[in-house]
Amino acid sequence: MAQMIKPLAFFLLLSVLLLSVSAFINHHDPRQDPKKEYSECQRKCQRESEPGRRQQQELEDCQRQCKDKYEERQGKGGDSYPITGGESQQDNNPYVFEDKHFETISTQHGRLGMLPKFSDHSPHLRGFINAFRFAFLEANPQTFVLPHHIDAELILVVVQGRGRISLLRPDGRQSVNLRKGDVLRVPAGTTVYLINRDNNEKLVIAKLVQPISTPGEFQPFFGVGAKNPESFLKAFSGEILEAAYQQKSDKILRLLDQQKAEFVVKASEEQIRALSQKDEEGGKSIWPFGGESSRNKINLFKQRPVESNEFGELREVNPSDFRPLEDLDVSVSFANITKGGMSTIFFNSKSIKISVVRNGEGLLQMACPHLAQESQQGQGGSQERQRGRGGSQEGQGDLQEQVKYEKVEARLRQGVVFITPPGHPSTLVASNNQNLEVICFEINTRDNDKTPLAGKNNIFSQMEKVAQELAFNRPSREVEEIVRANNNEWFFKGPNQQQQGRALE
């Protein structure tokens, strides 16, 4: 009897396992339509969002998670990217930042995100980049961002939407209409407020921040505050406020307590319309926002391309184009790579580049000596121990072995931020499905050279034939056959892709 029970138990257990596996496959079928999953996720957000004041914020956070999951599925499906390169190392990539890396403040009507100090993310990101921070602002349609100033210089790029920013200085106020592509500088200590004047679209602004007191550290100051943020005027005693404003302190404090919302508040159509009107005539110009000596803004997307062909285009705003960027030594650029196309492999001689994906999908590849050195140290001990084993001659041999480069690879999608240090060769590849649009802040841009390593006018093609033979240890005709084969400049057809049309707006 016992002998019969054992086979029976085995078959029962096997049946349960098969049913479990079948249920798992049916529930997690990787061939299930990602769009269907995305729609189901959106409907679930609608059902589960709790009523109340924070309902909109929770709903948006839930929907954003649905979008992230959908985009991740699209990327893993194998159809979006022209090359896969194996499993992504994005989580351990010291040069790439995703949504999870941002310190974010979300409110009912907007969102503010800030990357940590770059050196906190990676020891490789030290030096002058650590004097800067990267941030973004999102404001919902028809909203008002409360007046504030920060102890830092700001360069703003409007990534999406239409707005209007007002800048307050002791000598006057100036308001500037904003649209996507506009570049604007806000000097440290300038009090600003702004509106999203669009009825439907979010206003999204990318910010390069240069603190002026402590490198990488700055603070916002809200004169007109709420419970969060609080007005800095409430830090002063009642006697001081009475003397300063010639009013009773309780009256002043009641005024400061009227705003119950957060740093982004909803505005009526009438209020948005009133704030969208042109400034009254006779207002003073505020350097560097107006007057004869400077334009108050410049549009990056309207600049004449410095590089352009059917595979992509590159537009730039340099300090020579826009004087407010001059003393910060920063340039702003916009690369729009045709779907299926790629940029040349190149490096910057001096500038370090902070890039954010405005739209599309693609791939970043970069050669990095620092990660290769870390890998070698992990395998064979520190360089100091290697050099100490066999005298200077053996140490020189070890040092020669350490001149290697590791591939840094990251999948790119909307909102991803990545860093390209000077001297590091890199390239961007657009997906097969859509153009890859990238906005870049280039720091330390004075006298910087962009050095192409492929395509027409690449540096290898400029070598003398004898130098080519000595460098590559091959006849120069073989070298020339490779380095001069691609006649395109800066943008090319991507890996195994067909020409997809012109990447122009």
Measure the N-to-C terminal CA separation of the chain; round to a whole number of Å. Answer: 80
Shared domain check, 131 and 194 = yes
**Burial (0-12, 13-18, 19+ Cβ within 10 Å), 96:** buried
Do the beta carbons of residue 114 and residue 133 sit within 8 Å? Answer: yes
Q: Does residue 355 sit within a domain?
A: yes
In degrees, to the nearest 5, what angle opens at C-alpha 91 toward C-alphas 89 and 97? Answer: 115
Q: Does residue 289 sit within a domain?
A: no
Helix (H, G, I), strand (E, B) or coil at 352: strand
CA 424 to CA 460: how far, in whole Å? 17
Shared domain check, 481 and 426 = yes
CA 95 to CA 154: how far, in whole Å? 22
Q: Does residue 432 sit within a domain?
A: yes
Place of tokens 């500088």: 185
What pLDDT is attached to residue 391?
45
Q: What percent of the chain has pLDDT over 70?
A: 71
257-270 average pLDDT score:
85
Shared domain check, 255 and 348 = no
CA 309 to CA 344: how far, in whole Å? 12
Q: Does residue 448 sit within a domain?
A: yes
Q: Does residue 128 sit within a domain?
A: yes
Share of the chain residues as helix, strand and coil, in percent rounded to the nearest 5: 30, 30, 40
CA 393 to CA 254: how far, in whole Å? 78
Q: Does residue 330 sit within a domain?
A: yes
Most confident residue range from 41-50, 127-136, 241-250: 241-250
275, 307, 342 — which closes off a domain?
275
Shared domain check, 316 and 250 = no
Q: What would the two tokens of residue 214 be?
A: 């402590």
Shared domain check, 309 and 207 = no
Phi/psi-derived region of residue 455, left when phi > 0, alpha when psi is between -120 and 50, beta in every other case: left
CA 37 to CA 34: how far, in whole Å? 5
Number of domains in the chain: 2
Helix (H, G, I), strand (E, B) or coil at 161: coil
218, 241, 275 — which closes off a domain?
275
User: Which of the pair, 197 or 399, is modelled with greater confidence?
Assistant: 197
pLDDT one-digit tens code per residue, 12-34: 444 433 334 334 334 444 445 56
Place of tokens 């870390």: 374
Shared domain check, 169 and 316 = no
**Burial (0-12, 13-18, 19+ Cβ within 10 Å), 111:** buried
Shared domain check, 223 and 179 = yes
pLDDT for residue 475 is more than 80: yes
Shared domain check, 244 and 105 = yes
Shared domain check, 352 and 207 = no
Do the beta carbons of residue 492 and residue 454 sit within 8 Å? Answer: yes
pLDDT one-digit tens code per residue, 71-80: 555 544 433 4
CA 141 to CA 69: how far, in whole Å? 25
Minimum mean pLDDT among 270-274, 340-344, 380-384: which range? 380-384
What pLDDT is attached to residue 490?
93
pTM, entire model = 0.74
Shared domain check, 426 and 350 = yes
pLDDT for residue 465 is more than 80: yes
pLDDT one-digit tens code per residue, 279-328: 543 344 444 444 433 478 999 999 999 999 999 999 999 999 999 999 99
In the DSSP assignment, the letter for residue 459 is G
Domain of 155 in residue numbering reads as: 90-275
- Name the H helices within 32-139: 34-48, 55-76, 118-121
Q: What is the DSSP string of 462-497?
A: GS-HHHHHHHHSS-HHHHHHHHTS----SEEE-TT-
Shared domain check, 168 and 221 = yes
How far, CA to CA in Å, does 149 sit from each of 166, 416, 424?
A: 12, 27, 36
What pLDDT is attached to residue 370?
74
Q: Does residue 338 sit within a domain?
A: yes
Shared domain check, 313 and 239 = no
What confidence tier does 58 reach under pLDDT thresholds 50, 70, 90?
low
What confidence tier does 60 reach under pLDDT thresholds 50, 70, 90?
low
CATH of the domain at 341: 2.60.120.10
Q: Does residue 112 sit within a domain?
A: yes
Helix (H) or strand (E) holding 335: strand 330-337
Q: What would the two tokens of residue 261 be?
A: 């919302």
Looking at every residue in the chain, the average pLDDT score rounds to: 78
